[in-house]
Structure formats: structure tokens, C-alpha cells
Amino acid sequence: MNDTGNFVIVGSGSNMIWESFNFPADTLLPTQIMSRGGVINSKMSETNFTSGRFQLRMLQDGNLVLNSRDVLSNFAYKAYYSSNTIDVSNSTNAGDQLIFDVTGYMYILKRNGQRFVLTPRETLPSGDYYHRATLSFDGVFTQYYYPKNFTSNTSWSVSWLEPENICGDIIGLEGSGACGFNNVCSLDGARRPKCECPPGLSLLDPNDPYGDCKLNFTTTCDDDVSSYNGELDFVELNKTDWPRSDYVHLDSTNEQECKDSCLNDCLCAVAVHDGNDCWKKKLPLSNGWMNESLNTKAFLKFAKGDLPRHSPPRFPRKKNDQTTLITTGAALLGSSVFVNAILLVVICLGLFLNYHKMARTRNLGDNVAETNLVYFTYKELVQATNEFTDELGRGSFGIVYKGLIRTNSVAVKKLNTRLVEDGEKEFKTEVGDISRTHHKNLVQLLGYCDEGDQRLLVYEYMSNGTLASFLFENNKPSWNQRSHIALGIAKGLWYLHEECTTQIIHCDIKPQNVLLDDYYNPRISDFGLAKLLKMNQSRTNTGIRGTKGYVAPEWFRNTAVTTKVDVYSFGVLLLEIISCRKSLEESESGNECGPVLTDWAWDCYQERTLDVFVANDLEALADYKNLKTFIMVGLWCIQENPSLRPIMRTVVQMLEGVVEVSEPPCPFPLSTTSI
């Protein structure tokens, strides 16, 4: 590694075999040269170092350009910056090399020896400085400097950048623009782009604010627009436009005519009005930008019942019945003494009944009051689930149905009658404690219903179903996906065991209780439900909780049940994730067939035949070190002796490679009763 930052491999006779300067990523350093045909790619995002959407290229004709590209095909879109160092009539006047000299001076050297200056001389500081030029993930190419005699508060300073206004300069007929489709770009004080979904839209990938936005509502031409009966309206966005998404241009129109034309056009998603001109735009919207110099008004169409929002959906709380009664009573008082007397009786009766209802709610869930949970009536959830017709799954605690509240899919768990009869206090604890658990690997509780003997819980809906179907029913997931899922589940359990306000032991970890969100991140479900178990039964066979194949041995013995039962179940699940094989295979008659997965895992580990365990999965075998680590962690977790099992915090650290994993002993030296 030499002083310029160039990493060089030298062979015999000091012959240079390879150097990093010939294979730049997103940054150029002093003494580095880019010849015709050279290219650097931006990162995908601030933390994702794969090649992103933007390129700096030295074209064969001598022109230096910045362009966006299609990541999958590598197709380059129209340049949004060009040095214009080409000369068709005189090729010797065209650019030949991009040079970054040792002083930090960057220029294009033409074929005739002349220079096209990129770095203004007045911006280069005098003194001893480091220099670099980076194509950022947001598409801005920037040259920086940094003093070699730095202090703790020193940071990189900008010499120059291109383009000055990427939001306006990147406009083209292809691609999404500086931000993703349907997104809106604006400049911050440092002339860097900011991307923000307009009201009514949300990010397709919540972790990528520069990515595409999806509409929470849109009409299609399969719908009869007239049937909406005025339920469509617009949200107004000033000084905003998507200038490359037009499909109709109307002139001599006012704002209302512009909006009416869009309202009655099923293809129209946005109408933009500027003076007497109206442009109708359809999806997807590209090159969105907001600028104070624009005189436009953009009208984004949405359904009145689906309020525009930037944040994840929040369901409206029901109005306080007591406030409503008081307001109504006050408005009606004054007609006559007799009527007033009747009204006073009605109001008092209403207040009395409401007081008792509120008291009952408080008694049921004092812990609920401090949360953001939404209270639903039973009628609302009957309508939301279409009378409980779309069943997602069922278990000992009840049945889960798919529902739709506004335009948001939810999962509604209807607790069974036996639980309602036996567990008023337990239901209060569940709603109060579960609602205060917040972790990216747990399914979030959104609301609840407590009406008569009906008790229901409303959860986030996970679009990709259960881990069981992902592992065992579809095509085999990649090793990278499987290892990501395993680590996420471990982190979720660590949170439940150690980081919750109240410790939660799941007691039924299995692939059916792990759901996958839009991006296949694992989310543990049904946590907290085991607290409904009366723990004085937990030491007997009649009180065994869990599912066959995942139950820890201590359930069968007169020993205390601790978080280690979850560790055991996770170990079985981890081995399932590694092998894509069920812990117990059953024949059509319901009898077990084939080896028990935990026994087979130990045999394969002992015999050093891990390739057999993963069915010769080439991707997993290419990552052999981590594969072996994961299997060793699984074997530690299924130790028959609970004291030998690691806690979930240690499991996470071992899976991440932070803690070294020692050789596991035989997991089952004792004979164990099976169920």
C-alpha cells in the first residue's frame, strides 16, 4: 500500500501484477488517472457498498459524463452532467484522460495536450492536505480536502461538486431521476438532494429514503370512477412537479377545471397546474422535484377515507363517548323545562353507563392506557375481516383471520371461548405487556377489542406468510436468506428474554410462529401468549407447552421452566433453517418417518459430513466456516442439560462471530421421554 493510497501487487523483478487504481470503486485519489472507457460507480446507499444507480464515465469520444443507470441491466440513461470535451471536426481537441494530480488539481487532458479544468484553482487550499473525489450514492460527484495536521473537530471540506442542482439537472425521459419513482427531490443547504414521499405515498423500502414510493391509494380503469360519489379528492403540493410523466396537456384551464379533468380520468394520478396550463400525469411518476422557482401546484388524487400520511398507518381512536354526550346535551338544552328534564335524565344515564364502561376498560387494562393501541369495536372487526372468512392460521389460543382496515391489511386473532372464560386478568396482562414490546424481529400489536365475551387482538399483517411455508413448501431459500433469518429470530428472542420491561418466555418457538415481512425479515409471533399458562402447572405433563419436536426435556421433569426452553426450541429451529428439513417428518398416516433432525445433525457433525446435512447446498458449503458455526450453535442449544445451553445473548454473539464457539458435547447423553 503506497503513500498515494494505491494497493499494488508486485511480482518477481518488481513487475506490477495488479493495482487498485485500475479498478476504482466510487472514489478517485491524487495521481490516479481515468482513461477513455473508464468508469466509477456510486454505492447503492450510505451503508450498502454494492454498485448503485449513478456513474462517472470517461467516454470513448473524450466526454466526461455523469449518468444514472438501470442497476440490473447496467443500461446508462441520459447524462445529467457533461464536460462537452468532444470535437467532431477535430478529434485532437477531444478529451483523452481524466487526471487527478498530486496537488489535488483535477482536469481533463485533451489529445492535443491542452487542459479542461475541473477544479477551480481558488478552491484548492494552500498547505498540506489530503484530497479525494467521490461519486456519492445520491449522484453528486464531489472533491474534498482534509488537513493532514488535523484536530479532533476536523472534517472533510468541499472543493467543488457537480451537478449544482441534481434535482433539476437529472431530468430525462428514462429512469426515475435523482430519487426513486413517485418520490420528490429537493436540495438541502449543502446542495445535496433530499428525497421525500409526498402525502399519500410511502417508501417501498423503508430503509431506502432515496428509493421508490408506493401509493397508499389509487383508482384503476377497472373501477367505475362515477361510483366513488365524491369520495375522491386531492392533496395540494406547491412548487412540485414531475415534468417527465405527462400524458395529457390542457391549455386555457383554471385550477378547478384541471382537477375535475383528473378526477374523471381513471389514468390520472396527479394534475399539475401552472398559469393557464394543466398537465395530467400517470404512474409511475418520474423526476419529481420541488423548487421555490416553480409556480406550479400539483394535485395528488386520493380517497377521502384514506388520509395521506408519511408515517406507518395509525388507526383513528374512537371519540370519547362522554365528551360526545356532553356536547350533544348542551346543544339541545333550552327548548322546554319538560324536554330539558328528559334530556338531563338521558345524559345522566349515558354518563353513568359510560363511566362503568370506562371503569371496566380501566380494570381490564390499566397497562393499556399508556400505550398507543387502538380500541376497536367487535362490529368494526367483523366488517374488517368480512365476517371472519379469510383464515390465516389457528392454535390453542384462537384463530387468526386476515382483515382490512381502511387500506391496511391486518391480522386479527380471535381468542377462543375457553380463554375468555378463564383469563380476564391474563388478557389484561397480554395487552398491556405485549403492546410495550418494540423490536424489528417481533410482530407488532396494533389494537384490541374487549366487548362482552369477545376479545380480539389486531396485529400487523405479514405478507410473506410463515417461515414454515418458506422453508418447506416453496423453492429452497438461499443460504444468505436463511442465515439472515436465523440471526433475526435469535435477536428477537434475546429482546424478549433480557430487554423487555417484563421478561417474556415464548414457550412455543417453531417455524409456524415466525412470520416474514415484505422484505423477508423474520418476525416472531404469539409471544406473550404463554403467560396465560398457569405456571403452577408448568412442572407436570398436563401443563406441557409447546409443539412436538421443539419441546425442551425439562417440560417432562419436575424442574423449573426458564428461558432455556426457548433456547432449546431455537436450536431445533436453527437446524431446520440450516437443512431446510422438518425436525420430525411424518407420513400420511401421521406416524414419524425418517431420522429425528437433532439426532441426524449430531451424526453429521461427528462424521464431518455437513455436505450431507445441507443436501450439497453449494452456497452454504462455500461459506463452510459459518455453516459449521451455525450447526455447532444449534447443537449447543439442544443440550439436554439446560445449564449447558447458552443464553440467547450469547447465541447472537456466536452467530455473529463475536464469541468463539467451542466443540459441543453430545446433546442427549440421557434418555428422554418423547411426546
Beta carbons within 8 Å of 284's beta carbon, 6+ residues apart: 176, 181, 182, 212, 245
Among the listed residues 111, 86, 84, the one whose alpha carbon sits nearest the alpha carbon of residue 97: 111
Beta carbons within 8 Å of 482's beta carbon, 6+ residues apart: 471, 577, 578, 580, 620
pLDDT at 302: 78
Among the listed residues 266, 265, 254, the one whose alpha carbon sits nearest the alpha carbon of residue 297: 254
Q: Hey, how many other C-beta atoms are within 10 angstroms of the C-beta on 378?
A: 16
Annotate 180-193 with DSSP letters as a single string: -TT-EEEE-TTS-E
pLDDT at 329: 45
Distance separating alpha carbons of residues 558 and 131, to the nearest angstrom = 69
**Exposure class string for 434-466: b at 16+ Cβ within 10 A, else e:** bbbbebebbbebbbbbbeeeebbbbbbbbebeb
Q: For the chain, how many residues are written?
A: 675
pLDDT at 150: 76
CA-to-CA dists, residue 294 to 156, 242, 275, 409, angstroms: 33, 12, 11, 38
pLDDT digits (tens, 9 = 90+) for 538-558: 333 334 556 778 888 887 776
For cell 424489528, what's the residue? 440
Phi-psi region of 229 (alpha: psi -120 to 50; beta: other; left: phi over 0): left
**Preceding peptide of 284 cis, ω within 30°:** yes
The listed CATH number (3.20.20.80, 3.30.450.20, 1.10.510.10, 1.10.1660.10) that belongs to domain 467-655: 1.10.510.10
Positive or negative torsion for Cα 360, 361, 366, 369: negative
pLDDT at 429: 61
Which architecture, in CATH terms, is 365-460?
2-Layer Sandwich (3.30)
Mean pLDDT in runs of 10 for the chain (675 residues)?
90 86 92 92 88 93 92 88 85 88 90 90 83 94 89 83 89 83 88 87 84 71 51 85 88 90 88 92 89 88 57 40 44 48 65 51 43 81 92 81 88 75 59 80 88 86 90 84 94 90 86 89 82 41 60 80 92 96 70 76 94 91 93 95 93 92 88 43
Distance separating alpha carbons of residues 170 and 500, to the nearest angstrom = 47
Distance separating alpha carbons of residues 137 and 180, to the nearest angstrom = 13
pLDDT at 314: 38
pLDDT at 424: 59
CA-to-CA dists, residue 661 to 601, 607, 651, angstroms: 17, 19, 9
Annotate 308-346 with DSSP letters as a single string: --SSSP-PPPPPPHHHHHHHHHHHHTTS-HHHHHHHHHH
Beta carbons within 8 Å of 347's beta carbon, 6+ residues apart: 325, 326, 329
Annotate 343-366 with DSSP letters as a single string: HHHHHHHHHHHHHHHHHHHHHH-G
Beta carbons within 8 Å of 446's beta carbon, 6+ residues apart: 315, 373, 374, 410, 458, 459, 460
Q: What residues act catalytically?
A: 508
Q: Three cell numbers at 218? A: 389509487
pLDDT at 367: 43
Regarding the domain delimited by 8-163, which CATH topology (the fold level of the hierarchy) does it fall under? Agglutinin, subunit A (2.90.10)
Dihedral, CA of residue 551, residue 553, residue 556 and residue 557, to nearest 10: -150
Phi-psi region of 550 (alpha: psi -120 to 50; beta: other; left: phi over 0): alpha
pLDDT at 534: 41
Beta strands in 12-154 (DSSP E): 16-19, 27-28, 33-35, 39-43, 51-58, 64-69, 76-82, 95-100, 106-110, 115-117, 129-135, 141-147
Q: Domain locations in the chain?
A: 8-163, 184-303, 365-460, 467-655
Distance separating alpha carbons of residues 516 and 563, to the nearest angstrom = 24
pLDDT at 430: 67
DSSP state of 621: H
Burial degree of 668 (CB within 10 A; 0-12, 13-18, 19+) = middle
Q: Looking only at Cα atoms, what is the longest distance across the chain?
A: 113
